[in-house]
Chains A and B, each alone.
Chain A
Amino acid sequence: MIPELGHFSLILALCMAVVLAVFPLIGSLNNTPGWVALAKPAALAQFCFTALSFACLVNAFLANDFSVAYVAENGNTLLPTLYKISAVWGAHEGSLLLWALILTGWTTAVAIFTRNLPPVTLARVLSVMGIISIGFLSFLLFTSNPFARVYPAPLEGGDLNPLLQDPGLAIHPPMLYMGYVGMSVAFSFAIAALIGGKLDATWARWSRPWTTVAWVFLTIGITLGSWWAYNELGWGGWWFWDPVENASFMPWLAATALIHSLAVTEKRGAFKRWTVLLSLLAFSLSLLGTFLVRSGVLTSVHSFAADPARGLFILVFLSIVIGGSLLLYAWRAPDVNSGGRFDMLSRETLLLGNNVLLVAITAFVLLGTLAPLIYDAMGWGKISVGFPWFTTMFVIFTPFMVFLMGMGPLTRWKHQDPAQLARTLRIAFVISIAAGVVAALPILHGGSWQAGLAVALSVWLLASLLLSLRQRHRHNVGVANIWKSFRMRGGGSYYGMIIAHLGVVVFIIGVTFATQFTQQEDVRMSPGQTYELAGYSFRFDGAKPVPGPNYRADRASFLVTRDNREVATLHPEKRTYTVQTKPMTESGIDVGLFRDLYVSLGESLGNGDWSVRLYYKPFVRWIWLGGIMIAIGGLCAALDRRYRIAVSKRVVAPEPSRVKAPGKKANA
């Protein structure tokens, strides 16, 4: 009964989405306030019905209702409660339902939290989100119904993929989807602005906090995914340039370009068309990412064709969204004036340069991700694009980007005197080159030019950020003053930028050192045997079987010592999950700020011997630390007081130019 309730509720949500997509939009075009006013209640109702539907599916998992096909495939009575809930988004149908839930959630959030927006604009934004929602809800209902029954109901479920039974991966998809779907807000704002023909600084100001919040979620989601891969895949990798990872990374790159371009549009009124285009791009890539991962097209072009209904739906939906928005852009964008002028050396130029580089990287990641599909579809052979290519590409583009990043905060808007900038940055340049050379010399770690480059870039960025802070606090030093200036209008944005860019410094160091100086050894070890790696000695104390809730495991014990002092005892496991009979490698990791020690069990080789992989991974934590700092920086920027102060001001005294906007009266 409850699954039917969920199904029915989902149908009602679709009806609400249709109402939301049609009436407010038409009402906004022909001045019908009654229709415009429908936007908020429709958005709320849509969210409530989708949430009810989602709750029904969660209930089916908790109640082990195996008469529901989706639960029978992915649930199990033995699953711990946390994984019963995360199993809801463990496969295709449920993750799409989560997508829809988050989309309607964002729609409701926009409806509630943007009181200062003229009702007409708000109605348009919500309508566009309603259109996207129609696409997803009908995809769910017509091709991937999570509530479909199976008869006769099996006695036990097929269990959640053991790889997904990890707390990190339980929250990874919701975070990632919050980011993906959050891009729909930026997209809808851009479309609404195109429909209204009013692309101005206010539009950028409305769109900016939403876009930044979505980007923060995307950053957290990707960081979590990388951390999960490191912990759970068992082989010490933290990024594989796997198509599934690229699918989340491309929207992130586009969104990073977008938040920087939005800054220019808000502050200087420039780059309007470019910002709109990036808004469309970021969401299109999010959609593409969702479908690449969810349609099965990645495992093979043929599996895509194996389920023609889903495949066709995806293609049609993608082309409507991308094609439609680009058409609208082509129609309305030429009317937009180009806005603020700027000189060759100005912050605008530097941000433009960064945007170009980010988009170039996005394009290459897209090429590398889609090339195997294109080759296969064209019959040119089966290829895969090697890991080194993606890495090479990053090593080509990133240094330029970091160089510009260092200059950006110290450069004025509109016009900057080159001689003055050179004077300011002289010290930073010299120090960074010196640090880079020292780091590249063979005295440390046997020398590595990559490490030298990374150190030079990090020091360059760090020094320029410090210089920028000094410029800001030339006359008011002290922690209290920094706090005061943080609370000022624009303070959150500025310090958010500082924190996020410091995160980039940390990330660069982490990535480079972890890849350059990792030491790895695959060895055969007998109980009692000791192996030396990077100054640590690992003693294997044998493995013995231990039972788990829904698996059996061989649990080994390693005593790690350095200079005869105990450092850690590690317990890597080899698990076999009872339902899916899949073996899983559970690594044993000793976490440290400057190095991780990582042990994985290979296979039992008889006589108590095991093949073992030992890792010494320096600075690997910095990769995720950098990601977290970038996210915190974004959060600070999104919470900037200026977005809220501007709100109250506008409500008190609307600027005369904005009063004539239709529907404004209703707001005042």
Chain B
Amino acid sequence: MTPKRKQRLLLIAAMVIGVGVAAGFALKAFNQNLMFFYTPTKVMAGEAPTGRLIRVGGLVTKGSLKRQADGLTVHFDITDYAHTMTVQYTGILPDLFREGQGIVAHGKLQQDGSFVADEVLAKHDEKYMPPEVADALKTAHREGAKTTAAGTD
């Protein structure tokens, strides 16, 4: 029985190592693919990394949508009412994209501070906005209130 048991131990060891290595790769990839969310305030404060996939979100500022001559590249501003940043995107905007509406964009922050999106999401209907954006607005509002309060003191 002993050689057999040894064999089985070997088998289990091989499996554990195999799955362990695969798990290692998967977790490494996991870390690389985590996309953190940043508000325009945080981006403007320089907290967001450049050259890495991140998500930004806010309300699209009214009247900020500009189309290039090719008709597909657009620039628009998003805001959390405290700060505003510009997003550039080439492609077809989602059905629910509208000025004044909350959106989330996936993409990379460039060295020069502009944000180039590879995906723009506006899944939520008019009544609701993406939860991140709602939170961002709330935080910005609270902090805004704090600074004004500090100013009057």
Pairwise interchain contact B92-A613, C-beta atoms closer than 8 A:
yes
Pairwise interchain contact A344-B11, C-beta atoms closer than 8 A:
yes
> Distance in Å from the Cβ of B15 to the closest Cβ of chain A?
6
Pairwise interchain contact A396-B25, C-beta atoms closer than 8 A:
yes
> Distance in Å from the Cβ of B135 to the closest Cβ of chain A?
8
In the complex, A374 Cα to B97 Cα: how many Å?
Answer: 29
List which A332-383 residues lie within 8 A (CB) of chain B.
343-344, 349, 353, 356-357, 360, 364, 367-368, 371, 381-383
In the complex, A384 Cα to B105 Cα: how many Å?
Answer: 12
> Distance in Å from the Cβ of B18 to the closest Cβ of chain A?
7
Pairwise interchain contact B92-A381, C-beta atoms closer than 8 A:
no
Pairwise interchain contact A386-B34, C-beta atoms closer than 8 A:
yes
> Distance in Å from the Cβ of A551 to the closest Cβ of chain B?
13
List which A580-604 residues lie within 8 A (CB) of chain B.
580-585, 600, 602-603
List which B84-133 residues lie within 8 A (CB) of chain A.
90-93, 95-96, 125-126, 131-132
Pairwise interchain contact A389-B93, C-beta atoms closer than 8 A:
no
- Decide if A609 is an interface residue (CB 8 Å cutoff): yes
> Distance in Å from the Cβ of B4 to the closest Cβ of chain A?
8
Whether A523 touches B23, Cβ cut-off 8 Å, given contacts A385-B33, A583-B96, is: no
> Distance in Å from the Cβ of B136 to the closest Cβ of chain A?
9
Pairwise interchain contact A356-B19, C-beta atoms closer than 8 A:
yes
> Distance in Å from the Cβ of A466 to the closest Cβ of chain B?
28
> Distance in Å from the Cβ of A388 to the closest Cβ of chain B?
6
- Decide if B29 is an interface residue (CB 8 Å cutoff): yes
Pairwise interchain contact B26-A583, C-beta atoms closer than 8 A:
no
Q: 1/0 per position for A276-300, CB-CB distance to B under 8 A?
A: 0000000000000000000000011
In the complex, A381 Cα to B42 Cα: how many Å?
Answer: 12
- Decide if A393 is an interface residue (CB 8 Å cutoff): yes
Count of A residues near B, CB < 8 Å?
A: 47
Pairwise interchain contact A582-B125, C-beta atoms closer than 8 A:
yes
- Decide if A420 is an interface residue (CB 8 Å cutoff): no
Number of A-B contacts (CB under 8 A): 102
> Distance in Å from the Cβ of B73 to the closest Cβ of chain A?
10
- Decide if A392 is an interface residue (CB 8 Å cutoff): yes
Interface size class for chain B? Answer: 35 or more
- Decide if A648 is an interface residue (CB 8 Å cutoff): no
With CB as the reference atom, state the residue of chain B lying closest to A393.
B26
Give every chain B residue within 8 A of A349 (Cβ-Cβ).
11
With CB as the reference atom, state the residue of chain B lying closest to A380.
B36
> Distance in Å from the Cβ of A402 to the closest Cβ of chain B?
14
Whether A384 touches B55, Cβ cut-off 8 Å, given contacts A392-B29, A396-B25, A611-B92, is: yes
In the complex, A371 Cα to B11 Cα: how many Å?
Answer: 32
Pairwise interchain contact A360-B35, C-beta atoms closer than 8 A:
no
Give every chain A residue within 8 A of B55 (Cβ-Cβ).
382, 384
16 interchain pairs, CB-CB under 8 A? A344-B10, A356-B15, A371-B30, A382-B132, A383-B35, A384-B37, A384-B55, A389-B32, A392-B25, A392-B26, A400-B18, A400-B22, A524-B71, A582-B95, A605-B67, A613-B92
**Which residues of A are at the interface with B, using a C-beta cutoff of 8 A?**
234, 299-300, 302-303, 343-344, 349, 353, 356-357, 360, 364, 367-368, 371, 381-389, 392-393, 396-397, 400, 522-524, 580-585, 600, 602-603, 605, 609, 611-613
Query: A381-B37, A522-B91 provided; 8 other pairs, C-beta below 8 A?
Result: A356-B15, A384-B34, A385-B33, A386-B35, A393-B29, A524-B70, A603-B93, A605-B67
